[in-house]
Structure 1
Amino acid sequence: MSAEAAGWTGHVMWWQVYPLGFVGAEVRPEGGGAQVQHRLGRIEGWLEHVIGLGLNGLALGPVFAASTHGYDTVDHFRIDPRLGDLGDVDRLVAACRERGIRVLLDGVFNHVGRAHPLFRHVEEHGPESPHAELFRIDWNGWQPGQPVQAEVFEGHDALVALDHDSPAVAEFVAEVMLHWLGRGIDGWRLDAAYAVPPAFWARVLPKVREQYPEAWFSGEVIHGAGAELVKESTVDSLTQYELWQAIWHGIADRNLFELAHGLERHDALLGSFVPSTFVGNHDVTRIASAVGDGFVGHALAVLFTVAGVPSVYAGDEFGWHGVKEERIGGDDAVRPVFPESPPGEGELPEAGARILHEHRQLIELRRRHPWLHRAHTEAVEVANEALVFRSVGGAGEGGILTALNLSDEPQRVRVPGDAVVAAGSGSRDGDALVVPEREWAVVSFG
């Protein structure tokens, strides 16, 4: 039985957290920072907030021991001491279980940190090291005492690439996955899955599913999402960066033709898999900074009324701002420290309170229409500053009509006679839906 067949992925919606930033850990620690600091429990204080949003999944960024930002892993079986220890992660997983919240871990299996003990052993002992087969190394002309010429990830010298043709790497990755699934998690985000040969995942994932058939695997793919990759790799899902880009570009550039095209391409994927959808994550500029506070709801309306396994990047629900920059520390603004507990609605600025309401409203809409997980979508009306699209399920499941108005004039949209305004700002006027200037609306029908 696959995760999809088990049914839970058709209902899960993730709250994505970057743990090191969330708890205020030193991302670039001096002197190693090996002393255990029990910070991971701070996330537990936000679980009721997750439930209050209507979400039921916690997607954690890197939690394993690493040197800096978490994607330079040095021990896949140990919790990063800046976050805590095994007891801390076990308590967090148990707290999620008590609340019906699924847990997804971030698996960095394309590379390891240069400080990883296995690579250190290779550096010390050369090709005679039993761990040499784990890495792609050019031994030509190498002499003891010289640096090891290993392949690295995208030019980052601190990230040493694993050799995915090696059976030992496949065994290692399967062992890591099985270990944490055995401790109660539900699946894996496969970091940099686009850099790993699909055949590697096809060797590893079926072995893992033999013991955990309901586990779910979503691969990070940045340049589009391909049906062939899913078929060859056997992953369940891929990140839908193409749709993310179409959403924020279409809104920010007032070119909703781009979004309509993105929706068409998104819909074509559904014959092969259900993509992992988002409008924000730990690697991109926050949506409120990308499109402006007043248009976050437009982006969310797309996210929650088209097919996919949606996620909300923690903090986006409050309209937090943050711009990603291409420099050392350029991710810090989008990976901030969180307060000990969620802010009350009265503590939020007007824009933040509205954005929080929009999240709750659209997540509730999604809960009422679970068929949206695999809904087919088509554009009905398209202009630079106006877009109407229809999402429909199977027989007897009805449909959703989503209208986005970026212009400074009201928009009139023809709707079915039984259409009911389900979210956003809109009102019926005869056989039309009137969407005010710079607003959005969703109606349900059938």
Structure 2
Amino acid sequence: MKTQEKIIIYQVFTRLFGNGNPRCKTNGSLDENGCGKMADFTAKALGEIKRLGATHIWYTGIIEHATQTNYSRYGIRPDHPAVVKGKAGSPYAIKDYYDVDPDLATSIPDRMKEFENLVKRSHKAELKVIIDFVPNHVARQYGSDTKPAGVADLGEQDDVNLAFSPNNNFYYIPGTKLEGNIDLHRGAAEPYIEFPAKATGNDRFDAWPGINDWYETVKLNYGVDYMNGRSTHFDPIPDTWNKMLDILLFWASKGIDGFRCDMAEMVPVEFWGWVIPQVKAQYPNLIFIAEVYNPAEYRNYLFNGKFDYLYDKVGLYDTLRAITSGWESATSIPSRWQSLSGIEHRMLNFLENHDEQRIASDFFAGNGARAIPAMIVSACMNDNPVMIYFGQEIGEQGMDTEGFSGRDGRTTIFDYWSVDSIRRWRNNGKFDDKLLTEEEKKLRTFYSRLLNLCNTEKAIREGVFFDLTYANLAGWVFNEHKQYAFMRKLDDELLLIMVNFDSIPVRAAVNIPQHAFDFLGIPYNLEYNAVELLTGNTEKLVLSPDKTTPVLLDAMNGKILKFKL
């Protein structure tokens, strides 16, 4: 019988990973600051990511997007700087769905071949490849220079005199020029002109997007008439649906293993339910991950939209962040998984991604190690996928003032930049840890052990989950607001997992109720030599429904105790 795999995703912002420039300038150009390349993901680099415990690598920013860098000598149309965020541009303002971003290539004319080789190298390192699919919006100056023969560009056949038509790819404000509460010159000799104006990506159906809108993008039309009560026009199939099917099949043919679908809930679920089965009919092992933030829509996008996995952002992420920051009680955790009512196996857990502030930033915990208990919970409480963001494993702070993004505790997705912790970890491709601090090495060791346990320990990979919170309320030796405990079991292997969100060490004692022994089939009143899997240390413990099990927990840390029954 094939062993189930727990998906461990390493998200990496592709253009930042390999940039070794230690002296980047705020708002610096490509020439000034440099840019990482696909070639920087060498066999050694990928091997290190695999050894960290990853099963999948999500290369963020692969598809060509709007940029202020001029690549016109390579036949790529330049973008007006007024509709590009940052010097490098947002990877979510797609400019050509059929091309690889030229920033990432060592040889720009060979950029697609370089991507295909990257996929092959990743597979050779036993890493499956995920890329973004951005379905809701495109760059304002979208235009494919590389589309296959017979493919019409988005908007090429639109009737721009109609605000809405199911045959149009975009929404228009007829007879109106784009004005916008933004600088339409942005240093250029001539202003950016768009006539008629198109609707903006964040569902703004007028000609006046502001600086806080997704002003650099235009909304795609999937047959929903937003101007008339969101009436739907799905029969016959809207033109945009067929174009997007073609794009998904194009990238699937490159040998990738999955798509992370940006803002999937802004696209009608009917489209996903139509397109995903067609793609999987040809590529049955592809996975589709949806960025969805509305819990009321979770089941709709899983069962009608046919997604494999959804972000668990407004549930587990928000809760673990609040507990780590001291704003919320650990007793909130059970209600989060209980609210999922059976779909918890299809939620993607994470503590960082490109949208969220870094754990070690001043805006979150101030130190990457403070999230160790939250990471243990995120990784171990179920058999669903878990994701980390590059640099998380060494405590990247994200506190640079890179340019457009500002000093916001996030690693920029808009600017040319070099990530300090990653640059030192890479050490010019040596990956020898010589430039890392002792704290960074210690944190990376923790992540490596934890993420590898997710697949080497069958109880984590595919075992039963049992929450112990309800049996440990108002106990004098267990602070339910600062400690959390649960069990995982498969066959004759039992794990007792306890974490301490407090900033002081505690001698906790957990109550394991009779129901747990009965439900999990655990023999009791026996002494075990339990192995603590994160350190390899052994502890003598008695499991009994009649008395508590004492466990010493370090500050902001946890233990994974393994019992052989």
TM-score by length of 2: 0.68
1:322 corresponds in structure 2 to: 398
Task: Select 2:443's aligned residue among 350, 355, 362.
Answer: 355
Query: Once the two structures are superposed, what CA deviation does each residue of 1:79-103 show, in whole Å capped at 9, x if it has no partner?
Result: 0111121011111100011121100
1:43 corresponds in structure 2 to: 41
2:276 corresponds in structure 1 to: 205
Mapped to 1, the partners of 2:119 and 2:301 lie a distance apart of 31
Secondary structure in structure 2 of the residue aligned to 1:271: coil
Secondary structure in structure 1 of the residue aligned to 2:333: helix
- Whether the 8 Å contact between 2:138 and 2:220 is mirrored in structure 1 is yes
Q: Within 5 Å, which residues of 2 pair with 1:326-405?
A: 328-330=404-406, 333-335=410-412, 337=418, 338-339=422-423, 340-341=428-429, 343-373=431-461, 375-380=464-469, 381=472, 383=479, 386-393=482-489, 396=492, 398-405=494-501
- Whether the 8 Å contact between 1:306 and 1:373 is mirrored in structure 2 is no
Secondary structure in structure 1 of the residue aligned to 2:533: strand
Mapped to 2, the partners of 1:191 and 1:48 lie a distance apart of 28
Query: Once the two structures are superposed, what CA deviation does each residue of 1:259-298 show, in whole Å capped at 9, x if it has no partner?
Result: x423432354362352111111111111222222441322
The farther-off stretch of 72-81 and 284-293 is 284-293
Distance 1:163 1:443, change over 3 A: same
2:372 corresponds in structure 1 to: 297
- Whether the 8 Å contact between 2:135 and 2:261 is mirrored in structure 1 is yes
Report whether the alignment pairs 1:136 with 2:171.
Answer: yes
- Whether the 8 Å contact between 2:17 and 2:36 is mirrored in structure 1 is no
- Whether the 8 Å contact between 1:386 and 1:405 is mirrored in structure 2 is yes
Task: Select 1:240's aligned residue among 291, 303, 312.
Answer: 312
Mapped to 2, the partners of 1:90 and 1:366 lie a distance apart of 29
1:287 corresponds in structure 2 to: 359
Mapped to 2, the partners of 1:119 and 1:179 lie a distance apart of 16
Deviation at 1:433, TM superposition (A): 1.7
- Whether the 8 Å contact between 1:288 and 1:320 is mirrored in structure 2 is yes
Distance 1:271 1:384, change over 3 A: closer
Q: Within 5 Å, which residues of 2 pair with 1:31-110?
A: 39-44=37-42, 45-67=44-66, 68-84=89-105, 85-110=111-136
Query: Once the two structures are superposed, what CA deviation does each residue of 1:357-395 show, in whole Å capped at 9, x if it has no partner?
Result: 110111122122245356535243463652222143555
Distance 1:220 1:321, change over 3 A: same
- Whether the 8 Å contact between 1:201 and 1:233 is mirrored in structure 2 is yes
- Whether the 8 Å contact between 1:284 and 1:324 is mirrored in structure 2 is no
- Whether the 8 Å contact between 1:279 and 1:287 is mirrored in structure 2 is yes
- Whether the 8 Å contact between 1:227 and 1:269 is mirrored in structure 2 is no
2:219 corresponds in structure 1 to: 161
Deviation at 1:120, TM superposition (A): 7.0
Mapped to 1, the partners of 2:306 and 2:551 lie a distance apart of 43
Deviation at 1:122, TM superposition (A): 6.8
Deviation at 1:162, TM superposition (A): 0.8
Report whether the alignment pairs 1:147 with 2:195.
Answer: yes
Secondary structure in structure 1 of the residue aligned to 2:121: helix
Mapped to 2, the partners of 1:163 and 1:190 lie a distance apart of 16
2:552 corresponds in structure 1 to: 434
Distance 1:324 1:411, change over 3 A: farther
Mapped to 1, the partners of 2:240 and 2:159 lie a distance apart of 20
- Whether the 8 Å contact between 1:64 and 1:73 is mirrored in structure 2 is yes
Q: Which amino acid aligns with 1:423?
A: L
Query: Once the two structures are superposed, what CA deviation does each residue of 1:128-148 show, in whole Å capped at 9, x if it has no partner?
Result: 9x9961112243x569x9722
- Whether the 8 Å contact between 1:372 and 1:391 is mirrored in structure 2 is no
Mapped to 1, the partners of 2:14 and 2:326 lie a distance apart of 32
TM-score by length of 1: 0.85
Task: Select 1:11's aligned residue among 2, 6, 10.
Answer: 6
Structure number, greater radius of gyration: 2
- Whether the 8 Å contact between 1:57 and 1:102 is mirrored in structure 2 is yes
Mapped to 2, the partners of 1:146 and 1:15 lie a distance apart of 39
Mapped to 1, the partners of 2:411 and 2:194 lie a distance apart of 39
Q: Which amino acid aligns with 1:39?
A: K
Cα-Cα RMSD: 3.6
Mapped to 2, the partners of 1:312 and 1:342 lie a distance apart of 22
Secondary structure in structure 2 of the residue aligned to 1:147: coil
- Whether the 8 Å contact between 1:218 and 1:235 is mirrored in structure 2 is yes
* Larger proportion of helix: 1
1:116 corresponds in structure 2 to: 142
Q: Which amino acid aligns with 1:191?
A: D
Mapped to 1, the partners of 2:99 and 2:27 lie a distance apart of 19
Mapped to 1, the partners of 2:294 and 2:2 lie a distance apart of 29
The farther-off stretch of 295-304 and 213-222 is 295-304
Structure 1, unaligned runs of 5 or more: none
Mapped to 2, the partners of 1:391 and 1:345 lie a distance apart of 34
Query: Once the two structures are superposed, what CA deviation does each residue of 1:190-231 show, in whole Å capped at 9, x if it has no partner?
Result: 001121121111111111111111110000123447223312
Structure 2, unaligned runs of 5 or more: 67-88, 106-110, 144-152, 178-192, 203-212, 224-236, 474-478, 513-523, 543-549
Secondary structure in structure 1 of the residue aligned to 2:41: helix
1:20 corresponds in structure 2 to: 15
Mapped to 2, the partners of 1:268 and 1:188 lie a distance apart of 26
Mapped to 2, the partners of 1:298 and 1:252 lie a distance apart of 12
Distance 1:247 1:206, change over 3 A: same
Secondary structure in structure 1 of the residue aligned to 2:355: coil
2:328 corresponds in structure 1 to: 255
